[in-house]
Amino acid sequence: MKYLILDGLPYPTDRPTFIYRGTDRKWPPYCKEVPHDHEINELWSWSAEEKVRFAAVRDLAKALRYVQLANEYFPGMNFEVIG
């Protein structure tokens, strides 16, 4: 199965029960605040390579770890894995 790692709503909405789960959302960015060989940036490189080859990522465990780190390092963003 292929997975997408995406950030919250792409457009402001006044409907709190509306959750947009489509694909027109942002992937986690590269984290400039930590070294290139930090786990979050290694996962960024992995996801970038997977997206080029498969248009998504294929390893659920890595995707979940990347989302966990992205949500820690990018406060105000809310990433999730969508299968």
Instruction: Provide the pLDDT for residue 72.
Output: 96
- In 3D space, the residue among 61, 51, 41 whose CA is nearest the CA of residue 6 turns out to be 51
Q: How confident is the model over 6-26, as pLDDT tens digits?
A: 887 555 556 666 655 565 678
Which residue type is seen at 19? I
Instruction: Provide the pLDDT for residue 16.
Output: 61
CA 57/CA 63 separation, integer angstroms: 7
Instruction: Provide the pLDDT for residue 80.
Output: 87
**Sequence spans of domains, the chain:** 4-82
Q: How confident is the model over 31-82, as pLDDT tens digits?
A: 999 999 999 999 999 999 998 888 899 999 999 999 999 999 998 888 889 8
Q: Which residues pair with 3 in a beta bridge?
A: 57
